[in-house]
Amino acid sequence: MPTLRALVRPPASSFSEALSPHPEQKNIDPARALHQHRDYCIALEEAGVEVITLAPLEAFPDSTFIEDNAVILEGTAYVTAMKAPTRQGESVLIKPALDPYLPVEILTAPVFLDGGDVLITADAIFIGQSRRTGEAAIRYFKERTNLPVLPVQVTGALHLKTVATWLGDRCLIVNPRGCDVTVFQQFDCIEVKREDAYAANCLAIGSTVILPAGFKRVEESLEKAGFTPRPVDMSEFEKADGGITCLSLIFLG
């Protein structure tokens, strides 16, 4: 039986230089972020995931957001080409960690893509059209996957998965102010309030949903939908404009 695995990369001491418009970006505490990252890995393991920890990358302050480095679709890992100048050259460093488990393809310009813009569900692949991901990614994956590939306009957020997360079956959790939600009409959507927007990015593993700590309303909504919330402290990653799914690259292999 295939094992559910997660590649993770702890934040480097350079994490305080991560790209972020957050007003608290200058106050990122790398030591506290490292502690929070360890707790996040514990939550993954509690949910039954085998965690594979890669070495920090001092040269790439945002490299702890490993989800952006690759997209795994239909048994193939696609290493991304990232548009942000300070992240160019980062993603290809994940290839040796993926090679033992999956065939790997490497994207190149002009197919710019961050993994955080790819929302994979059972019936369709939604790709956010954001500052980091464009139409070329839509065309690329339409030629390579069996599922429909649909664009979603992202507004006021870094990535599509900043504002929408698939929880399984027909269930999504969404921040309706962050993207064009009309494309999700076939789903049962849990909508978060404006003040709970950060919790729209969470991670479902079976019936467990790992989410940022401090969002009781969202936890209650998840419980009503039949899920078990597992909050983790994400304060330092929020300052760096990153969320729950950003910290792992999960695959069966």
Question: Which stretches of 135-237 are assigned E, i.e. beta strand?
Answer: 149-153, 164-168, 171-174, 188-191, 203-205, 208-212, 228-232
Map residue 35 onto helix, strand or coil.
helix
Confirm whether 41 is a catalytic residue.
Answer: no
Residue from 41, 171, 202, 246 carrying the catalytic annotation: 246
Catalytic residue status for 37: no
Tell me the helix, strand and coil percentages in the chain, rounded to 5: 35, 25, 40
Give the phi and the psi of residue 151 in degrees, each rounded to 5. -80, 150
Q: Which of 159, 171, 179, 202 is catalytic?
A: 159
Strand order in the sheet with 118-120: 118-120, 125-129, 149-153
State the catalytic residues. 159, 246
